[in-house]
């Protein structure tokens, strides 16, 4: 009988990538990383410890909306602040950041002063953990002078949060699922494509903490949803369709596929037992309004993540009409103005 191989830990991955590099601690390390919105979603893991996904995924970066982090060495204990406010050690933010920082301390009595600034609401389904872990990884690379390449940094950021591996780049980014047990082939890369007319509109409907975090929700979906079996093959088709749409600048195909992919992801969650339903009445009303505007001939589509908020996809020429229809819409230009 074949012996079961021991599980690979996050510490093993860190040892492989930075183990040989002697930390040369600088006075500080600072970095910015953009938030990202998936057009083809990451939903379900083949390895929980390393955040290895079941499928590949594709996202678009939110230009200058994201996280900025400065790290400095600190004596006695970690000091972690968010948007200028020192946070208590029992907050989820501090616990997740500390668990990540623990992977990189050169000595057990090495502590960090971490100052984070988010230009997007935390925990409102606008992917702030992705930009946070990406910025933190980049700041660590600066602080310790590792000089790692982007691929290695993408792998390290993934250990904090899966979608963080996509936040190391601007524009369209693909995260290759990979197949290796240690995840060395599971990293993100930018697509060689710019689309200056593309717009993303953030429709914030609720800033309340979500009833269930995406980590737990994807676990529960994979374990209990009878619809999950169909998800990987659907992602493969959607990913191919999105890449073709981007190559051909076919906006209708891009929007249609992204919207269908997000709804398919939500369908897998709704079928989980117990069901996971992030939609609010206002989410559904916004979806209907978008469909109605579309029936009137305006090319507008939406995508949604693990939360009630919508992200609209449209082109520059529709911007005035859509900001009139949704006055609270925050418009992002992923490729600059
Ligand atoms: C719905 O990357 O937050 O936004 O790896 O457990 O930290 P963890 O999950 P996370 O999940 C993101 C899920 C999603 C889809 C996506 O961004 O692709």
**Which residue segments constitute the domains of the chain, with CATH numbers given?**
10-190 (3.30.230.10), 198-332 (3.30.70.890)
> pLDDT by residue (tens digit) across 85-96?
999 999 989 999
Q: Are 190 and 151 in contact (CB under 8 A)?
A: no
Q: Which of the four pLDDT bands, split at 50, 70 and 90, describes residue 45?
A: very high
The secondary structure element, H or E, covering residue 323 is helix 319-325
Residues of the chain above pLDDT 90, percent: 88
Q: Record the tokens describing residue 12, joined without a space.
A: 């093993």
Other beta carbons less than 10 A from residue 72's beta carbon:
18
Reported pTM: 0.96
Q: What is the 213 CA–ligand 1 centroid distance (Å)?
A: 9
pLDDT at residue 120, rounded to an integer: 79
Asked if the model's pLDDT at residue 291 lies above 80, the reply is yes
The residue nearest atom 6 of ligand 1, judged by CA position, is 215
Kindly give the number of the ligand 1 atom that is closest to the alpha carbon of 125.
Answer: 4
Cα Rg, the chain, nearest whole Å: 20
**d(C-alpha 140, C-alpha 166), whole Å:** 17
Instruction: Kindly report, residue by residue over 115-172, the tens digit of the pLDDT.
Output: 999 987 654 456 579 999 999 999 999 999 999 999 999 999 999 999 999 999 999 9
- Please tell me if the CB atom of residue 41 comes closer than 6 angstroms to any atom of ligand 1: yes
CA of 102 to the centre of ligand 1 (A): 22
pLDDT band at 1 (very low <50, low <70, confident <90, very high): low
Ligand 1 centroid distance, CA of 214 (Å): 6
């Amino acid at each position: 009988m074949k012996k079961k191989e021991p599980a690979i830990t996050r510490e093993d991955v860190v040892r492989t990538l930075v183990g040989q590099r002697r930390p040369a601690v600088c006075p500080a390390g600072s970095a910015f990383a953009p938030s990202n919105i998936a057009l083809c979603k990451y939903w379900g893991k083949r390895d929980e410890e390393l955040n290895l996904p079941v499928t590949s995924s594709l996202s678009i970066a939110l230009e200058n909306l994201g996280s900025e982090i400065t790290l400095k060495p600190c004596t006695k204990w970690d000091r972690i602040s968010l948007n200028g406010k020192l946070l208590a050690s029992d907050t989820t933010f501090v616990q997740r950041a500390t668990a990540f920082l623990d992977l990189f301390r050169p000595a057990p009595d090495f502590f960090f002063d971490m100052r984070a600034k988010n230009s997007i609401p935390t925990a409102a389904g606008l992917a702030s953990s992705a930009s946070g872990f990406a910025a933190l990884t980049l700041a660590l690379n600066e602080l310790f002078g590792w000089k790692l390449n982007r691929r290695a940094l993408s792998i390290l950021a993934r250990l904090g949060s899966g979608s963080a591996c996509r936040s190391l780049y601007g524009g369209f980014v693909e995260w290759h699922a990979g197949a290796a047990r240690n995840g060395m082939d599971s990293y993100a890369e930018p697509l060689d494509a710019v689309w200056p007319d593309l717009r993303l509109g953030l429709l914030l409907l609720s800033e309340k903490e979500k009833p269930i975090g995406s980590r737990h929700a994807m676990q529960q979906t994979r374990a209990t949803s009878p619809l999950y079996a169909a998800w990987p093959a659907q992602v493969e088709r959607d990913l191919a369709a999105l890449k073709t749409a981007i190559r051909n600048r076919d906006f209708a195909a891009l929007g249609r596929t992204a919207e269908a992919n997000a709804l398919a992801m939500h369908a897998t969650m709704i079928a989980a037992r117990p069901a996971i339903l992030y939609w609010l009445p206002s989410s559904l009303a916004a979806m209907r309004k978008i469909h109605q505007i579309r029936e009137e001939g305006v090319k507008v589509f939406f995508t949604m993540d693990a939360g009630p908020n919508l992200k609209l996809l449209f082109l520059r020429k529709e911007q005035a009409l859509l900001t009139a229809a949704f006055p609270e819409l925050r418009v992002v230009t992923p490729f600059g103005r």
